[in-house]
Amino acid sequence: MKILVTGAAGFIGSFTAKQLLERGETVVGLDNFNDYYDVSLKEARAKLLEPFDNFRMARIDLADRVAIETLFAIEKFDRVV
């Protein structure tokens, strides 16, 4: 199953993505890495997900409709979290 996890570099999103990855799901993490809070925390969390072969990070703003539509067209997600 291919799952999109929004806010994947945030606290909840990164731990959700990790649980799904450990379960064997394919995960695309979505985060724009904005500076709402310390970006270095987001970068560190994203780094913990990088070793998984079934993971990739999409650095896209959820408000960018064209980019999101393109992502959905390419990835064909089964679920969105």
pLDDT for 60-70, tens place per residue?
A: 999 999 999 99
Mean pLDDT of 30-34: 95
- Output the 3-class SS for the chain: CEEEEECCCCHHHHHHHHHHHHCCCEEEEECCCCCCCCHHHHHHHHHHHCCCCCEEEECCCCCCHHHHHHHHHHHCCCEEC
Q: What is the pLDDT of residues 44-59, one digit of tens each?
A: 999 999 999 999 999 9
Length of the chain, in residues: 81
Place of tokens 């904005």: 34
Q: Kind of pairing, strands 55-58 and 2-6? A: unpaired
